[in-house]
Chain A
Amino acid sequence: MTPQNFGRAIRRTEDDRLVTGRGSFTDDAGSTGLSLTMIRSPYANARILSIDVSEALEVEGVQAVLTYSDLPGRLVEPLPLLIPHPSLVAPRTQYILANEHVRYVGQAIVAIFATDRYVGEDAAERVIIEYEPGEAVVGIDAALGPHLVHEDVPGNVAADHSEHVGDVDTALANASHVLELELNMERSMGSSLEGRASHATWDRHSRKLRIQNATQTPTSVRFAVANILEIPDEQVEVFAIDVGGGFGTKVIHPWPEDILTAWGAIEYDCPVKFTEDRVEHFISSSHERAQRHQIKVGFDEEGRILGLDVDFIHDNGAYTPYGMIAPLITATQLPGPYKLPNYRVRFRSVYTNTVQVTPYRGAARPHAVFSMERTIDRIAAFLEIDRAEVRRRNFIQPDEFPYDLGMIFQDGRPAIYDSGNYPELLEKVLSMIEWDDFPERRSQATPGRRRGIGVACYVEGTGLGPYEGGHVRVETGGKVQVSTGLASSGQGHHTVFAQIVADELGVPFEDVEVVTGDTRRFQYAVGTFASRAAVTSGNAVAEAARLVKEKAISIAADALEANPDDLEIVDAQVQVKGTTARGIPLAQVAVLANPLRYSFSEAARAATQFAGAGDLDEPPVKPGEDPGLEATGWYSPVRATFASGAHAVEVEVDAATSEVEILRYCVVHDCGRLINPMIVEGQIHGGVAQGIAGALYEKMAYDEDGNLQNASFMDFLMPYCTEIPEVEIDHLETLSPLNPLGIKGAGEAGVIPVSAAIAAAVEDAEGFQINHMPLFPSELHEMRAIGVDEPN
């Protein structure tokens, strides 16, 4: 097969619709029925003494005002712990509405069903809640202190996890040099353009609950809703038509509002909508990133790492709905592209009275890479060896794959790197940024500014299981319909899956129409996260297309009285190889695939010329065959495939303002075979932008009482496009041996090493250590005055 579409920078088919306001987001669905408004806790830790809703019920347009004690059936249970883990000894999840206790500012307490959100908020002002506030546990230091978030979780420790390879103590004892570092990363969050949203309709005639939901995982939302409402799965349909960004927050499910809208639609027999506003997204969705790392590294005179001992604290907020996925990723991805014969990691995941922490794009890898890369830079500085050279000396080499880290990855399977070429990645990015000539450029810095350069490498486990499926169906009109169960939140799935199917099946790209994230079209799926969609659904739709092709050739072989081996599909026509003379359009094969009693179209009439009488002793659809030119394909990877990359950045720090200006930002990225370079580059641009956000602009500013003081885009400094430099990109294509398409994931890559690279560049410019992120001009100004980065 010669790829016609695979590998080409085809423009995204979704964009025309999305940029002209014709997207179909959840808030666009219907404005009739009821709107759900939540009252959220103003206290980080408090007992609820009483709730008086009587005045709110008198507001015109209010249907119902519910508290925990009003909830029926299974709605009184805590929300599910989605991913248990043996190390998670004290998991806690929140209730749909707070049950006596609130544990973070923003936790839902009261649900108001009203004609619209305005009325809902008017009613909310009339609900009187009495609280008995307790001591708020905010930040890692407080978590290690005497006050508890959950009375029955001693030390606030949700999980205490250790893993090791080799013998770290002996390695450190025998190392020529040992250095210690303490590194800190602050909280941030994904900040999708669209917040969480759900619109539920109950069709009492067909007894169907139809839910449009802004989710990354519609199939699982469906099962969760059916389960909690105790109704058959078959009565629940969930679809995510357009989702305005997810970044991990929308993997978490079900949210309290998902259940309440669904329940309300049945209870009040009308559509119910919840659309999260920006303040709610800040205080009642998910955050990520906050960790503190203590590192001890032993190395030889050449800078080779002999032993690495990492002990970190992960602030998981008030609840752990997604288990320990984030810190487990930090632990296993910390080694990156380096050989660590002796590596020990321990983490404690601790509760605080803050918004829950769940994976956000990059999923706890930025911290891991920050630790590893800062450590390498520190070794280089200690030994006075070029930072790139220390990396070279520690890389896993291209001939060492598959490379077994000796650890267990987040999917519960061994962390074995499938393929990669880390030395070449580094050399490429060094040559892009002209690393060797930097000393000359440093001396040419703008007057009054200090110039620095930094580099950071990473490995990212992507494309993990358990599975995805794809369905491909050729319509008698010639269009090819493709569906897969995972949802799209901006990735470009409609384009890349069409590219894959068009090539596998032999049809024009324009004839392929893709639907994602609709349980009416595809019932089984896992979801869009962990940079897995292209690998899993991509290989699944490819398999489905191959099956359809096989079936089409078999049917056409009968009709043409030809040997199937002599047939091919070119430009949507099944034909004898090398000749277009004798062939049948795929649309007609689709008609033949479905033995018809009724002729209803030109295509059906045309197809009858091939139908013949057949063997009258055989049934029209033979045993083992199905009518229709369609097939379902599945792909279940044995384990994750590991993408990799290297970023290099050159900065200038302004002497007067301490502002960091990025002069050049270079990325070399290896996600195996590229399906669509334009889309991969778009993913990298967005990822780098979020990385720069986390490095220089964003943090969650909690006060000591647990109030998030910057819960708006005025005070939470998500950068604008004006703050993001041009990103220069080059690719390496080291194929994955684990899947037929040879691909690896690309969705999160861009964000992962940015903090590490920028810290390195600023450190290089200033000459003092950078041990935390983000780095604000105000802090940099003070660090310049004292010449160090004080651990905070």
Chain B
Amino acid sequence: MYLSKRIGTFKILVLLSIFIAASGCTPDDPYRSSERGKNIFYTTFVEPPKHLDPARSYSADEYDIIAQIYEPPFQYHYLLRPYTLVPLSAQDMPIPEYFDRSGRKLPENVPPNRVFRAIYGIRIKKGIMYQPHPAFARNQDGTLKYRKLSENDMSGINEVKDFTVKGTRELRSDDFIHEIKRLADPQIESPILPILEKYILGLKEYSDALRRDLEDIRRERKKKAGFSYNQTLDELENPIILDYGKHPLPGVEKIDDYAYRIILKTKYPQFLYWLAMPFLAPVPQEADLFYRQGVLAERNITIDRFPVGTGPYVMDTYNPNMEIILSKNVNFHDEYYPSRGEPGDRELGLLDDAGKKLPFIDKIVFKLEKEAIPRWNKFLQGYYDNSGITSESFDQAVAISASGRANVTDAMKKQGIRLITSVRPATYYNGFNMLDDVVGGYTPTKDKLRQAISIALNYEEYIEIFNNGRGIPAMSPIPPGIFGYSSDYNPYVYNWDSAKKRPVRKSLNEAKRLLAEAGYPGGRDREGKPLVINFDNPWTGADLTPVIDWYIKKFALLGIQLENRTTDYNRFQDKMAKGNFQFFPWGWNADYPDPENFFFLLYGGNSKVKYGGENAADYSNPVFDDMFKKMENMDDSAQRLAIIKEMTSILQRESPWVWGYHPVAFVLYHQWVKNVKANPMANNTMKYIRIDAAEREKLRYEWNRPNYAPIVIVAAIIVIAILPAVIRKKRTER
């Protein structure tokens, strides 16, 4: 009886295994069976987004989501390089009009200092409809259906899709204007408001007026509530809706329902790039009115979580603790895959879908995967369609050829995995405190001290050790792909090696010579005391200790003592703000592909200590600053290029930064993912991607057949091991 029961269990297990094998089921599949073979793209996110409100969102991982939903006036062409802006929700690219102080129209190539007003007239495409959304739902009398929600209306409603009635309407110029006004709303805390206030006529005054309104309302509420007033709780229950129409904003004008104009206080050609970012995408007023209701805010249903746009995708499920799902927008307007690309794109199959209607994928599923190991393993199992490469998995994924070319390893090739690389429009650098008595200053001896350190910090080695070769040593702040980038080497750090036909870092002896000329022979001053430099960094993680050690060793090669002063990020920021540092690491990701967005990091008017700007080194050279002012708002031209070259030369000589490196992104894709081309400036690229879901399904099954044998063997060993003792005990008891 006992034995027959065991045999019965064994039979069930065998039958279950056969059933699983026959049904094509892979028990390690993290998705529901209903998703099998569907046209869904699976990818990951590492931490929940902070903001999905286009006026607040300012990080790459958030843009991966909202750029598929919101449509600003312009976008970057998917295939063309250098980065080219093309219309998205706009009808065409605007030609800015420039005027002098007397209102006289100026030619397009006028120098920035003559421009008093710059006007961008933007015409939007007709017939673009918003995604279906309850914010647009109306009653028969035309009033908004969900405008005054009470607790009774909220039964069964946990997210936006739970509302039964949805509506839509056509995109209008008012929505673009409304979004610009939202940027000025102090409750929204838009990170780009300080920048746009400098350019858009009257925006500063407008935002100040809104802040005053907000403070008045709060004061009034506090007075009414008395000592028990709690601002946070009060505004949760009764959100404050500021009246955007109460104050004038002369810098933004509506022309008609399909056109508006933005008036800038100066010539600012880079403004077009801002118009390609979600910050200036249209947001309908209905959405704001809908979301700013206490009963919705209490349930975390806000515009910061549930966007409302006209783009190819809509927010289907927002569970940032687990997954974010975007699904195709049924109201998406006609947009087609580009027919033009770079040379070589056709051969790579990147024009195979030319002219086809976008988007191709029905759903995009972002799964929360904080840890690298499970993320990587699930990619190898075929459950994620793309993956980055961590240092731990780098050797498994990438092989570097003798010529230095990166490609996937044979194991990856066998799985049909492809590697896509791209130089990111970013720079990672080490800065000197130019206000510091030891490392700062503008005399030739100070230059030599910084040049010597720049030579000793061998970034080719750094990139090899800590980045697995994923980076290009920088010669200036400008990364490749940006106007003004030059492949010329930095003559203060490199020599030209005619045999190798490439620049080679100067020798340590050269660095030591410069150090001696700077007054520190062998790393000691005239009194024989060692030169000690503080290394201020926020690298608290244990994984960064080897990096700090590397810096210490490199400085030691010159006889300089590098004193590590690691603090948490807040203390580090505090030190930077107060100028209480000597040598620090930092980085910058471009907002837009223009040299101004890099050189401004060294413009004296942006000094962090003096003005709270982004110039963390507090570098200030009047000649450089003059050239910056001249160059910043110029159109790309030979003249601008010449100025950039001169500015680069000054920077290389004075070396306020050790020019670090420009990171290179490595992303792996499975063979079933088509139309992949890296475009670090564009974020709305998911609409171009196509997948072969049938091929994916076949390969997933092939790669993930379960293996029960080791379990059975281990169980058998345990039973055999304990059986003698059991029998003996039974005998003893008997």
| A and B pair up | no
